[in-house]
Each structure stands twice: as structure tokens, then as C-alpha cells.
């Protein structure tokens, strides 16, 4: 009797603190896996883990706590999908060229279609994609992103800076090819 009362309490607390962030969890999983079936798998596994480990939750920011779990679940998942492939294909070429490229006009960026923005984000390497998502779609602060990605603040800042440069370049390129095509 006592056990069931406790677990009912746990469930109520979980529903109150964690479940409101289900969309955030799903959004992150969806952007990282890039398709809805895998996103549901990853999000479901993450939420179940969150529930299992909920006793260890000490009342910090529940969204940050949950997103850190989603992220770890995703990392485990991606390793299972392709054990040979390193989780991040590092695009050195892109990195070195970026600083030299011209700053795309603000207008070009403003007029990008939803589809162009979506594919540009999806093309980002995972560790850059996640900071863009957390910053722009989740509106998280640098400190919250650092906590959710378990990285130092400096790493978050340099990744965000790189991610935006890459994103800007990709969107501008897509716009340009679109204009060239008759």
C-alpha cells in the first residue's frame, strides 16, 4: 500500500515537472535523428529513463535535466546505428573556409524559405545542430545549454558561433543556386 502511494506521488510529480517539457524533448530528438519514427524511439526511451531516474532529480531546471537525458539517449542510439562511423563527421574543409567567406546580406537570410532553413539546419554536424536548436528554438541561455550538453560555456559559445556561420553560408548558397536556376 505504501509503495503504491509513493509511486503515485512520483507519477504526479513527474507529470507536473517533467511532462510539460515533452515537446522540447521530442523536438530535440526529431532534429537530431532527422525523422519522426526514430525521434519517437529516442524520445520514448529518454522519457522512460527520466522516469526511472526521477528519484535522482534534485529540483534543478527540469527542461535542462530532461534534454541532457534525451541527448545522451541520442548519442547511445547513434552509436548503435553505425558503430563504425564516428558520431561526428567533422567538416574541416568547411571550418577553415568559413572565416574567409563574405558576410551574406541580411536580406538574403530573411527571405529564405522554411524548407531552405530546415535543410540547412539538418545538414549541420550534430554538435552544432544541437546548440542552434537549444538557442533558437528552445530559447535557452548559454548557461542552460552548457548544462544540457555537459560542456563548458566557452565550448557552447564557440560552437554557436561556428554553427551560425555554417548555417548562414548554407542558406545563402541555397538561395543563390535557386536564383541561378531558371
Partner 1 sequence: MTSHAQSNLLHAYVDDELDLVRSMELEDHLAECADCAQQVASFRALRATVATPELRYRASDDFRARLMRHIERAERPPVREQKLRSLPWWNWAAAAACLLLAIGGLLLYSGSRPDQVLERELVADHVRSLMATHLTDVLTSDQHTVKPWFTGKLDFSPRVRDLSVDGFELVGGRLDYVDGHSAAAIVYQRRKHVINLFTWPAKSGDESPHATAQQGFNLIEWTQDGMYYCAVSDLNQQELGEFVELVRR
Contacts with partner 1 by CB under 8 A lie at 7, 10-11, 14, 22-23, 25-27, 30-31, 36, 39-40, 43-44, 47-48, 51-52, 72, 75-76, 79-80, 83, 86-88, 90, 103-107, 109-110, 112, 114, 117-118, 121, 127, 132, 135-137, 139, 141-142, 150-151, 154-155, 157-158, 160-161, 164-165, 167-168, 171
Name the grid cell of 172: 545563402
Count each helix (H run) and each strand (E run) in the chain, helices first.
10, 0
Q: How far is the CB of 67 from partner 1 (least distance, A)?
A: 14
Distance between CA atoms of 151 and 154, rounded to whole angstroms? 8
At its nearest, how many Å lie between partner 1 and the CB of residue 60?
A: 14
By beta-carbon proximity to partner 1, the closer residue of 96 and 182 is 96
Nearest-approach distance from CB 106 to partner 1, in angstroms: 4
On the CB side of 124, how many CA atoms lie within 13 Å of its CA?
Answer: 27
Count CB neighbours of 66 within 10 A.
Answer: 26
| Residue among 60, 54, 46 nearest 144 (CA) | 60
Amino acid at each position: 500500500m505504501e509503495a503504491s502511494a509513493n509511486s503515485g506521488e512520483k507519477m504526479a510529480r513527474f507529470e507536473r515537472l517533467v511532462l510539460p517539457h515533452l515537446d522540447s524533448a521530442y523536438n530535440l530528438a526529431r532534429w537530431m535523428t532527422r525523422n519522426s519514427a526514430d525521434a519517437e524511439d529516442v524520445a520514448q526511451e529518454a522519457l522512460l529513463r527520466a522516469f526511472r531516474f526521477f528519484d535522482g532529480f534534485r529540483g534543478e531546471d527540469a527542461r535542462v535535466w530532461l534534454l541532457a537525458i534525451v541527448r545522451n539517449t541520442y548519442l547511445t542510439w547513434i552509436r548503435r546505428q553505425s558503430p563504425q562511423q564516428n558520431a561526428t563527421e567533422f567538416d574541416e574543409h568547411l571550418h577553415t573556409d568559413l572565416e574567409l567567406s563574405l558576410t551574406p546580406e541580411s536580406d538574403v537570410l530573411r527571405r529564405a524559405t522554411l524548407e531552405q532553413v530546415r535543410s540547412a539546419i539538418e545538414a549541420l554536424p550534430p554538435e552544432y545542430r544541437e546548440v542552434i536548436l537549444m538557442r533558437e528554438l528552445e530559447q535557452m541561455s548559454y548557461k542552460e545549454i552548457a548544462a544540457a550538453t555537459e560542456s563548458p560555456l566557452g565550448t557552447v559559445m564557440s560552437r554557436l558561433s561556428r554553427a551560425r556561420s555554417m548555417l548562414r553560408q548554407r542558406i545563402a548558397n541555397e538561395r543563390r543556386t535557386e536564383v541561378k536556376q531558371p
